[in-house]
């Protein structure tokens, strides 16, 4: 049977602030990758329209732009929802302490 003190020494505390910061960095990296993909697709479509004059690329560019706008709106909405949840959780903790 293992000694409880030895087990407790091996358990590391989780730094939640550091984990949240890592999550934000990963989220921003994914956002930058998405933007880069949209730019590359737009350049490719513009190049295709220059090579083949009869190809209509404008509808595809509008579709990519709308998808990009929806992605940005979703990111900002989710970020705001996370902030509101964090504030509510903090207020709830204060309420529980005062009881």
CA distances from 64 to 28, 35, 43, 50 (A): 20, 11, 12, 18
Domain boundaries, given as residue ranges, for the chain: 24-98
71: its two tokens: 């992605």
Compute the C-alpha angle 10/16/19, nearest 5°.
95
- Amino acid 4: pLDDT: 66
pLDDT tens for residues 59-96?
777 887 888 888 889 888 988 888 888 888 888 888 87
Whether 9 has a pLDDT exceeding 70, the answer reads: no
Percentage, residues of the chain above pLDDT 70: 87
Predicted model pTM: 0.49
> What are the start-end ranges of the H helices in 1-99?
4-10, 16-51, 58-98
């Amino acid at each position: 049977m293992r000694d409880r003190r030895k087990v407790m020494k091996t358990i590391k505390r989780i730094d939640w602030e550091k984990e949240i910061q890592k999550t934000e960095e990963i989220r921003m990296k994914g956002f930058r990758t998405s933007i880069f993909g949209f730019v590359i697709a737009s350049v490719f479509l513009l190049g295709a329209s220059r090579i083949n004059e009869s190809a209509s690329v404008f509808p595809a560019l509008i579709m990519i732009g709308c998808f990009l706008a929806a992605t940005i709106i979703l990111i900002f909405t989710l970020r705001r929802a996370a902030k509101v949840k964090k504030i509510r959780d903090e207020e709830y903790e204060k309420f529980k302490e005062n009881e």
